[in-house]
């Protein structure tokens, strides 16, 4: 228990990392999703290339790339900023496709009805399409935010004193590396369980209860698609 309380300052850093990353990543994902749906084809290709890099690179490579690469072009970043930018970029890359398909899935008739009422494009999107898209995407977004929480552990690589970095530090000072690491793992686990419990509650509220599939992972998603087909 003492180990857990020692690590609480690290939890604060981890949590603020998580918030900053999501604050950059989710709006960015919406913008990219819109550009993928409605943008000019040159813009689309550019964004596709960018998001494929964001999804194809290991997280660690992106973090190092931002942390050690940016000073080379004259931008000096702290470890915290580097992790937020790197993981924020990856969140944008991963969520852009989620948002694109969510926007696409809102029936075309909704747009046509709005047009018939004389609403402008932006008003249609903000008042009609986006709320529906966000609602449908919320469970998978929450599931993704669990992955973001786990990815903040990469802060250790650039010397950040978040949960992992701090427990490694304490571990090497006190020679009790294992208890501190396990304590860090327990804290991450508690955080992830909180988010995924919240997500499954939300899912039950929004959709018909579906018994077995507790999380929106790819496997079960593809299973449900297959059963639809």
Of 173, 153, 155, 152, give the one whose Cα is nearest residue 6: 173
| Shortest distance, position 179 Cβ to other proteins, whole Å | 9
- Quick one: which of 182, 201, 204, 206 contacts other proteins (CB under 8 A)? 182
Q: Could you tell me how many residues of this chain bind other proteins (CB under 8 A)?
A: 56
Classify residue 57 as exposed, middle or buried by CB count within 10 Å of its CB (0-12, 13-18, 19+). middle
* Rounded Cα distance, 31 and 208, in Å: 30
Site for other proteins in 159-178 (CB under 8 A): 163-164, 167-168, 171, 177-178
* Rounded Cα distance, 12 and 218, in Å: 31
Q: What is the four-CA torsion angle of 67, 71, 72, 74, rounded to 10 degrees?
A: 140
- Quick one: which of 1, 42, 116, 225 contacts other proteins (CB under 8 A)? 225
Residue 33 or 59: the one with the smaller Cβ distance to other proteins is: 59
| Residue 15 found at the interface with other proteins (CB under 8 A) | no
| Shortest distance, position 220 Cβ to other proteins, whole Å | 5
- Quick one: which of 24, 35, 157, 202 contacts other proteins (CB under 8 A)? 157
Task: Enter the DSSP assignment of 129.
Answer: I
Render the burial of 60-69: b for 16+ CB within 10 Å, e for the rest.
eebbbebbee
- Quick one: which of 109, 118, 122, 212 contacts other proteins (CB under 8 A)? 212
The 32-61 site mask, x for binding other proteins (CB under 8 A), equals --------------------xx--xxxxxx
- Quick one: which of 114, 154, 160, 216 contacts other proteins (CB under 8 A)? 154
Classify residue 179 as exposed, middle or buried by CB count within 10 Å of its CB (0-12, 13-18, 19+). middle
């Amino acid at each position: 228990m003492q180990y857990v309380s020692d690590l609480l300052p690290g939890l604060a850093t981890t949590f603020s990392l998580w918030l900053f990353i999501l604050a950059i990543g989710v709006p960015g994902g919406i913008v990219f999703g819109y550009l993928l749906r409605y943008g000019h084809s040159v813009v689309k290709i550019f964004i596709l290339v960018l998001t494929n890099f964001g999804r194809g690179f290991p997280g660690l490579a992106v973090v190092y790339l931002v942390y050690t690469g940016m000073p080379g072009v004259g931008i000096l970043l702290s470890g915290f900023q580097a992790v937020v930018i790197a993981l924020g970029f990856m969140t944008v890359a991963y969520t852009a496709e989620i948002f694109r398909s969510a926007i696409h899935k809102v029936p075309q008739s909704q747009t046509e009805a709005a047009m018939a009422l004389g609403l402008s494009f932006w008003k249609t999107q903000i008042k009609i399409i986006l709320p529906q898209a966000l609602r449908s995407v919320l469970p998978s977004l929450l599931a993704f935010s669990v992955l973001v929480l786990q990815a903040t552990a990469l802060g250790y690589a650039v010397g950040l004193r978040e949960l992992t970095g701090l427990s490694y530090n304490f571990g090497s000072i006190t020679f009790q590396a294992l208890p501190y690491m396990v304590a860090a793992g327990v804290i991450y686990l508690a955080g992830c369980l909180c988010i995924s419990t919240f997500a499954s509650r939300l899912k039950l509220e929004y959709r018909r209860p579906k018994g077995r599939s507790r999380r929106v992972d790819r496997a079960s998603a593809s299973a449900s698609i297959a059963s639809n087909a």
